[in-house]
Amino acid sequence: MTLHELIEQNYHKLSDNDLHIWQYISANEAACQDMSIDDLAEACHISHTTIIRFARKLGLKGFGELKFILRWQNQQAPAGFQPAEIEQVAQDYQQTLEYIRTVDLNDLFHVLEHARTIYVFGSGSIQQLAAYDLRRVFFITKWLMRTIDGSDEMLQVLPRIEEGDVIIFISLSGNNEFINQVAEQLKRMGRTVISICRIQSNRLIYFSDFNIPFFTHQVNTGLKSDYWSMRQIFLINEFLLLRYLQYLNEQGRHL
């Protein structure tokens, strides 16, 4: 089992310090394979005891076993594209669809219905396209959605987000530093934050009143560039509308 899988299974046990350790390890996996516990503690600005507790929360005996799994999972990664990736991507779609089809969204829809303005911000080019798509999909409703284009506009809009407004962040990892800083500030302001991001431990979830996860993984293409399947976000957009129509129908209402 990989560290990513252990994190997802034990996410509910992890503290802010634990998530900080994991963010550093996941961003520096190759270097962490050869680090001592003191080196990692210094890099994360925490005590080595905290790292030991982190490993034990994952069901490991200690830091040595954590390093062993890091080395093992990197050795296990096959070179080049594997046909099994097609099935894995299909499973990502199926799991995302099953979640958005069955999860209780009534509280979320109640908040969105009563929102003064709904802002939508994507952390990257595909995420921003998904923000435009979400606005397009819900054009038939009475919801007023405003997409925010880029970090500069986000900083300009931030002081104008008032009580009763809602902001939706669309992110791949949920660990985008800029988004998380803005989300944290909005939470201090008492604003409602909704996030759509990959299902994993991340900081954005902590700042979110509502989170809609999607399933995806990094596809091993055999090329130098990373590739993530992200069409699931557009699937979420469409099914959010369908689930909203279902919500209205159950209440004897219509658009």
Of 62, 70, 64, whose CA–CA distance to 26 is shortest? 70
pLDDT of residue 78: 56
Q: Which fold has domain 3-76?
A: Arc Repressor Mutant, subunit A (1.10.10)
Domain 84-250 has CATH 3.40.50.10490: yes
**Averaged pLDDT of the chain:** 90
pLDDT tens for each residue of 76-131 = 555 677 888 899 899 999 999 999 999 999 999 999 999 999 999 999 899 999 99
Q: Are 174 and 197 in contact (CB under 8 A)?
A: yes
pLDDT tens for each residue of 209-231 = 999 999 998 887 777 666 888 99
In the chain, CATH 1.10.10.10 sits at 3-76
In angstroms, the CA 188 to CA 182 distance is 10
Give the other-Cβ count within 10 Å of 66's Cβ.
Answer: 23
Q: What is the largest CA-CA distance in the chain?
A: 62
Residues near 99 by Cβ (< 8 Å), separated by ≥ 6?
213, 214, 215
Taking residues 5-12, report their average pLDDT: 74
pLDDT tens for each residue of 175-205 = 888 999 999 999 999 999 999 999 877 889 9
What's the whole-model pTM score?
Answer: 0.73
How is residue 138 annotated by DSSP? Answer: G
pLDDT of residue 159: 96
In the chain, CATH 3.40.50.10490 sits at 84-250
1 band by pLDDT with thresholds 50, 70 and 90 = low
Amino acid type, 60: L
pLDDT tens for each residue of 19-73 = 889 888 888 888 898 899 999 999 999 998 999 999 999 989 889 899 888 888 7
Alpha helices in the chain (DSSP H): 3-9, 16-27, 29-32, 37-44, 48-57, 63-76, 84-102, 106-113, 125-137, 150-157, 177-188, 203-206, 232-250
The answer on pLDDT for 75 being more than 90 is: no
